[in-house]
Chains A and B, each alone.
Chain A
Amino acid sequence: MTLDTTTGTPSSISIALIGSGGSGVMTAGSMLLDAAGRSHWYAYMTRSSGPQIRGGEAAALIRISNTPIESHDNRFDILLAIDWRNAERFAGEIPLDSDSLIVADPDGGDIPDKINAMGARCCELPMKALCKNITGGRPNMIALGAIASLVGLPEQSLIDVLTKVLKNKGEEVITSSTEAIQAGISACDSLPSCPSLNPPEPHAAKRLNITGNEAVGIGALRGGVRFVAAYPITPATEVLEWLAPMLDKVGGVLVQAEDELSSVNQIIGASFGGVPALTATSGPGLALMMESIGLAVAAEVPIVVVNVMRGGPSTGIPTKSEQTDLNIALYGLHGEAPHLVVAPTSVADCLFTTQWAVQLAEALQTAAIVLSDQSLGQTRAVLDRPADLALMERRNVPTKIGPDYKRYAVTPSGISPMALPGTTGGQYTADGLEHNEAGTPSSQAEDHLTQLDKRHTKLHGYNFGDHWADIEGEGDIAVITWGSSSGPVREALSQRHNKERNVRLICMRLLSPEQPEKMEAALEGVERILVVEQSHSGQFYRYLRAHYDLPAESKAFHRPGPLPIRPFEVHRELAEWE
């Protein structure tokens, strides 16, 4: 729970729902999130599950708030267990303390030692027993009613969500579920009190209930993507599955490829044909794609590769998050291959950053890698609808070709008009071989230098405006972070109400090409820097040290996944400087 500083009442509340396979905690969690959104709260939900393909133990980790939220809190207020089978595996992800409340079904087994050891208060809610009086009643709906009532969600919002979710399951199911929810609400009276949320503030702006992976899909379509090649991989698959039917509707197409080598080359082919193209993958797939991304750079064909990071190396931890593909995204191309690397700083920003990446790749005729991660991609959140990015310049496509047309002509910006197949007189061969201005293969020193300069200039001479980073606050201490670490850092800084020193926050969105002058301006007056990232070796810190002038006193807080970075870890680092 996070307290509102003026009233002392909770501005956010954190709830974990756990249960074994088939207990329906994910359904209950999603409905709780949806109901919170309909009741004008913000909400945030991650999911955790065992290794089974279907069923198996699962945890829905939910936070509800009346201010926008981008990360979990340090602790959970409520842990509700339908049963405890294999629940000890979630202990690390659900920190509890003596103020937390465990709500357990007495028929669900004993509380595991690891969870009991955290010292939370315990109470019983006989979910299974209560179901016996309701035909078709299910414990997860009892749980939903009880939790919603504990935190102060109106009953009507639950009924609305229920009716929507179960509309195809028939009247009987809706009736039995409604009865179960009402039984849960009534049973709540017997539970110990728990602080309920401040009422939500009225708002006019539209809100979305969306995951980061779905937001990437919208960003891609807003950016103009109409061809997607796909190879399934956790945790990026939902980007592709969301896009497949949507592309149909906007006159585009998705092709499932035989492997990632094929998917990345398919998008190069489609884009060569003039259609903005994208694929999405995760670490192992990105590793396979690297050679081809270099081809897109050399042949100057715009493509976008969304990489939803997971724990590595190798197969690693497919279902959990880590920010450890930064090095391969920045440095994984052989030869000297300037390209774009961008990273969304929140679930909502997955939309903006993907749209921006598409437009940049198109305008600069190069490859863009978007570094999302599992904790952004698979988190579902209720958030303010991101604004549409004002239309920027598009790909430079000539409609009329002069007699001396050269595909790779040197220009002041480094960007050359790109003739599309079908255009009379524009014929050229795109090539991964080094080439001259006309595109003819060349191993001459002069041509190599000219084309290296051109490809460097178009990225390094481009003005990326203010989008390169989100910069918030003033102060002589700065925290520099990126990607999904931005959420917990923002949370930590928003909780620093009683501290004398202000802290400046820099969440980098554009990682390549580097922006030393903009960083210098952003760091003016800063004496100390804390770098925060989720990697074992400090990849981001090393990147910053390599490309930017940092004040003498800088330190890095970096640790690997899979556990999310918590706001208190950022506090602890800053406390050393108070």
Chain B
Amino acid sequence: MGMNMNDAASTTALAPKDYKSSVKPVWCPGCGDFSVLSAITKALAHMGLNPEDVAVVSGIGCSSRIPAYLNTYGFHGLHGRALPLATGLKVARPDLTVLVAGGDGDGFSIGGNHFLHACRRNIDLTYIVMDNQVYGMTKGQASPTTAPDWARSKMTPHGPGINPFHPLIIALGAGANFIARVSSHDPNGTAKTIVEAIRHPGFSFVHVLSPCVTYQPEQREWKKLVRPAPVEATSDAGRAARRLLTDDNLYLGVLYHGDRETYRPRFETTKVDPSQLEQEFII
């Protein structure tokens, strides 16, 4: 395990476009996810990572389509199950840089339990959630982050009527080691934060405000409303909790970075042949 299949590391500098595939995105014109795609390629180019040494894992939803648009290794898996799949990959192949990407429905609803346990397990993964507060691919239903009075879905004609999920507070409570919020209207800022997230050891959570211009057109206004958090990043979980609990969901920046130890399995260097293990059963 932990092998690197390259004969030699590439020495040629790579540009963002070198991380893009030729597959055309299915997204609507104006979708925030285009900008996140671009930010990821900028981040990878900035870090000079070989595309073959990066894997991007996703679930199901508009934003989860991202792996196919990249020239890295990718896995477009099941709805809600991107984090466990990425967990298995990163544990088995610690040499890879593993990013996980997806939306608010995928990550916080059907995949909610995995989100808690990925934060808790603190494996060295970077989780990028493009939050648009709606299920776009199924044409506009309320998601866990939708406002309670949002009454434009046929499925919940009076609005979901329940409080939205607050992913950053939950990530902090569950043990994520790096928590940031960015906005897709600023691809360079997003790229910079993604670089920080990848470099930070352990589980890094990047919450991206990424508008759905089709089902939540008011989100076009986000770019006017967002502003940098008025404080420096903290490694004090208590301060971060207080800040996040009073957050209006529009402050940007790195909001918490912890120093919790990363989960790393022990790989014994002296390996025993499996036939030796049968000795305990031999009469």
Contact = CB atoms under 8 A, between A and B. Distances in A.
Interface of A: 34, 37-38, 206-210, 214, 218, 221-222, 226-227, 229, 246, 248-253, 255, 257-259, 261-263, 265-275, 277, 291-292, 295, 299, 382, 385, 388, 399, 420-433, 439-441
Q: Which of A206, A207, A229, A428 has the most CB of B within 10 A?
A: A428
A221 B277 CA distance: 9
A262 B112 CA distance: 12
A433 B61 CA distance: 12
B84 A295 contact: no
Given A291-B78, A292-B78, A295-B78, A273 B278 contact: no
B52 interface: yes
Nearest to A263: B84
A421 B73 contact: yes
B182 to A, nearest CB: 24
Interface in B71-98: 71-78, 80-81, 83-93, 95-96
A253 B75 contact: no
B75 A299 contact: yes
B176 to A, nearest CB: 15
Nearest to A301: B75
B6 interface: yes
B271 interface: yes
Interface string B94-109: 0110000000000000
A428 B69 CA distance: 10
A426 B52 contact: yes
B114 interface: yes
Given A273-B96, A432-B76, A440 B89 contact: no
A257 B53 contact: no
Contact of B88 (A207, A221, A229, A261): A229
Nearest to B67: A429
Given A253-B91, A266-B87, A429-B74, A207 B267 contact: no
Contacts of B117: 257-258, 262
A270 B91 contact: yes
Task: Give chain B's interface secondary structure class.
Answer: mixed
A206 B275 CA distance: 13
Q: Which of B269, B276, B277, B282 has the most CB of A within 10 A?
A: B277
A265 B85 contact: yes
Contacts of A257: 84, 117
A269 B87 contact: yes
B78 A218 contact: no
Nearest to A38: B283
B93 A433 contact: no
Contact of A262 (B23, B57, B114): B114
17 contacts: A208-B278, A222-B274, A252-B1, A255-B88, A258-B113, A262-B84, A265-B78, A268-B85, A269-B89, A270-B92, A274-B93, A399-B5, A427-B51, A427-B73, A429-B73, A429-B74, A431-B75
B282 A255 contact: no
B272 interface: yes
Interface residues of B, number: 61
B78 A221 contact: no
A534 to B, nearest CB: 27
A160 to B, nearest CB: 11
B55 interface: yes
Contacts of A429: 67-68, 70, 73-76
Nearest to A273: B93
A385 B278 contact: yes
Contacts of B68: 429, 431, 439-441
Contacts of A214: 281
A255 B5 CA distance: 24
Given A206-B282, A299-B77, 4 more contacts: A246-B277, A262-B87, A273-B92, A423-B52
A37 to B, nearest CB: 4
A208 B277 CA distance: 12
A426 B86 CA distance: 19
B6 to A, nearest CB: 6
Q: Which of A207, A262, A431 has the most CB of B within 10 A?
A: A262
Contacts of B80: 261
Nearest to B75: A430
Contacts of B274: 218, 221-222, 246, 250
Interface string B245-281: 0000000000000000000011111011111111001
Contacts of B51: 427
B50 interface: yes
Given A269-B89, A269-B92, A385 B282 contact: yes
A337 to B, nearest CB: 13
Nearest to A218: B278
B271 A251 contact: yes
Contacts of A251: 1, 267-269, 271
A455 B13 CA distance: 39
Nearest to B277: A246
A261 B81 contact: yes
Contacts of B116: 258
A421 B272 contact: no
Nearest to A425: B52
Contacts of A423: 5-6, 52
A472 B60 CA distance: 50
B95 A422 contact: yes
A248 B87 contact: no
A275 B282 contact: no
A267 B89 CA distance: 8
B3 interface: yes
